[in-house]
Amino acid sequence: MTHSIIYELPLNERIRILLRLEFLFKQARSSMCGTSISESRNTIHHILSILHIMGRLDLRSELIKELERQSSALLAISSQPDVDSGLLEETLEELNSYAQTLRTLPKYGANNLHNNYLLKQIQQRASIPGGNCDFDIPVYHFWLKQASEQRTTILQSWLEQLDHYRLSINIILKLLRKSSINTPIIAKKGFYQQSLDINMPFQLIQVLLPDDIDFFAEISGGRHRFSVHFMTYLDNKRPTPCTTDIEFQLSCCAL
């Protein structure tokens, strides 16, 4: 069975933040490739959301801690006979390289972006519905009227200032997602529940489903246990629980 829909549940605040940042970086890089004014607006919106998250916590320190934690976890399994020592060494070097680079960066992200006049003007109006329309921020209106190539070049330069954070997030989540194999599960009458070993560093739950179905997964829980409810959504009505047995693939990711 080919799986193309993955539902995820982060089990701690650090992974929750990294998943949100991963989403924002993907959205920003995707809309940056467009040529329309709306796509440029979307890119700036995502950049500001990234900066907002980075302004609320010391993301650099959080990433360094997680990179070091993953390095320690990988070193702990280095003596196992089925470990690819070459791949392990390459991964450890990559983790160490990202951590070393992050230590050289400003504490709260890209200072140039935090102090950028245009971005600050847009951010100040962001909480007002429609506050970024043309008459509210004339300088933004002027900037958006530049040629699409010029806007794209500027947006790309802004995102490049955040690339070290994006790449660090990518490898952390990549290794975490690869830390578990998929297990076939049957949810009786559309419901499944499982307890977790608190001695294991579980950080992420994944439910994998094929794309030719008419229901979705709702995952809830924490570090002790989690549950999966399968729901049907049709005709813009409130989702209703599935009542049939459902086969799916489950990954409990721990590293």
> Do 25 and 88 fall within a single domain?
yes
- pLDDT (tens digit per residue) in 186-205: 999 999 999 999 889 999 99
Same domain, residue pair 147 and 44:
yes
CA distance 241 to 207: 17
Query: Of the candidates 175, 199, 224, which is a domain's last residue?
Result: 175
Whether residues 233 and 133 fall in one domain: no
Q: Is 187 domain-assigned?
A: yes
Shared domain check, 194 and 141: no
d(CA 40, CA 34) in angstroms, rounded, equals: 7
Please give the residue range of the domain that contains residue 91: 11-175
- Identify which of 28, 30, 32, 49 has the alpha carbon closest to the alpha carbon of residue 151: 32
Q: Which two tokens stand for residue 255?
A: 């590293």
Which of 70, 110, 127 shows the shortest CA–CA distance to 94? Answer: 70
DSSP conformation class of 148: H
- Same domain for 167 and 71, yes or no, is yes
For 99, other C-beta atoms within 10 Å of its C-beta total 19
Contact (Cβ atoms closer than 8 angstroms) between residue 203 and residue 212: no
Do 223 and 168 share a structural domain? no
pTM over 0.95: no
Domain count within the chain: 2
Residue identified by tokens 């519905």 is: 129
Which residue's entry shows tokens 């559309």? 190
pLDDT in tens, 8-28: 999 999 999 999 999 999 999
Cross-strand partners of 252: 205
> What's the pLDDT tens digit per position in 204-215?
999 999 988 889
Chain centroid offset of residue 10 CA: 10
- 136 belongs to a structural domain: yes
* Mean pLDDT across the chain: 91
Q: What is the CATH number of the domain that holds 156?
A: 1.10.3900.10
Which pair of tokens denotes residue 56? 């609320």
Distance of alpha carbon 160 from alpha carbon 152, whole angstroms: 12
| In-domain check, residue 2 | no
Query: Do the Cβ atoms of 223 and 12 come closer than 8 Å?
Result: yes
pLDDT for residue 109: 60
Q: How high is the pLDDT of residue 101?
A: 94
Assess whether 76 and 138 both reside in one domain.
yes
Average pLDDT over residues 39-56: 93
Last residue of a domain, one of 175, 209, 232: 175
pLDDT of residue 170: 97
Q: With contact defined as beta carbons under 8 Å apart, do 28 and 159 qualify?
A: yes
Find the CATH number of the domain harbouring 244: 2.60.440.10
Structure tokens at 145: 């009227």
Residue 73 tokens read as 């976890």
**Residue 60 is assigned to a structural domain of this protein:** yes
